[in-house]
Structure 1
Amino acid sequence: METTFTPFQALIGGSLIGLAAVGLMALHGRVAGMTGILNGVILPKGDWDWRVAFLLGAVAAPVVILLLTGQSLPLQEEIPSLAITLGGLLVGVGVTFGGGCTSGHGVCGIARLSPRSIAATLTFMVTTFITVFVVRHLLGGF
């Protein structure tokens, strides 16, 4: 299992994520943490409208790419439903105990030099490295 190196697409995608985070902070004074935004849609507060618009924009992006290029984004690996379900549950637990997700801590928190976000992001990264190593090298991949 090998990941393709795509620096141009990564630069564009990272720039758009950064622009969205800065825009949300500038226009609404809010952190672009996806789980926090989703939580505000599921358990509505007074700012439901911008949250729905933000999530719809994130979900609509692959459709826009398809319309502009005529190509869908390829899924390179078939992942068992059980692995997706367990992964989603573990992420949900981590987000709850970590006080936020990778986008909130990693993109927005580090940009604000938040010590808590820096520690959380380091924890995410170390855990990711260990998980990838275990899955690919000790379990033989999926």
Structure 2
Amino acid sequence: MENFTPYSALAGGALIGISCALLLFFNGRIAGISGIMNGVFFAPKNDRAWRLLFLAGLVIGGLFLQGLLPGFNTPRQGYPIGLLGIGGFLVGFGTRMANGCVSGHGVCGIARLSIRSIAATLTFIASGMVTVYVIRHLLEVAA
């Protein structure tokens, strides 16, 4: 953990928590990104606008931060494109299989003391640990 920045981590966590609370308070919806994204394609037409605006806000917020602090986020280099594609597919598959993602289960579900969400989040963490071990130590891909 050579680049751990507790203040930015705390600020980011607080912003995520506030956005989840605001969405629940004003819209009665859980801020699970995979569910929001899925609803863009499969929800009734009158339920799509807020979803598109929420997702656009995620992208615009990231672009705004990058413009405000140009060196803040540096993408990692040295990962094979095929490995990234497989990883993306597996994340999507796992999200569907778990009926939600880290934002839905880890942030909103645990806050609601959902046993299912706690189990899913522990599974996400364990899977991430195994993945890091395999990528770094067995496949010897750059960190």
| Same fold, TM-score > 0.5, yes or no | yes
Equivalent-residue separation in structure 1 for 2:2 and 2:52 (angstroms): 32
Corresponding position of 2:4? 5
Q: 1:134–1:16: structure 2 CA closer, same or farther, 3 Å change rule?
A: same
Corresponding position of 1:102? 102
* Matching residue's letter, 1:8: Y
Equivalent-residue separation in structure 1 for 2:66 and 2:99 (angstroms): 35
Corresponding position of 2:66? 66
Q: Which moved more, 1:3-12 or 1:32-41?
A: 3-12
% of aligned pairs identical?
46
Equivalent-residue separation in structure 2 for 1:117 and 1:26 (angstroms): 20
Cα shift at 1:78: 3.6
Equivalent-residue separation in structure 1 for 2:35 and 2:2 (angstroms): 29
List gaps (5 residues or longer) in structure 1. none
TM-score, length-scaled by structure 1: 0.91
The number of aligned residues is: 141
* Matching residue's letter, 2:88: G
Give the 5 Å matches for 1:88-99.
88-99=88-99
Cα shift at 1:85: 1.1
Per-residue CA distance 1:78-97 (angstroms, 9 max, x = gap): 42221121111111111111
Equivalent-residue separation in structure 1 for 2:6 and 2:71 (angstroms): 19
Q: What is the root-mean-square deviation in Å for CA atoms of aligned residues?
A: 1.6
List gaps (5 residues or longer) in structure 2. none
Corresponding position of 1:26? 25
SS in 1 for 2:29: coil
Cα shift at 1:72: 5.7
The 8 Å contact of residues 78 and 141 in structure 2, kept in 1 or not, is answered as no
Q: 1:127–1:105: structure 2 CA closer, same or farther, 3 Å change rule?
A: same
| Alignment of 1:80 onto 2:80 | yes
| Alignment of 1:41 onto 2:37 | no
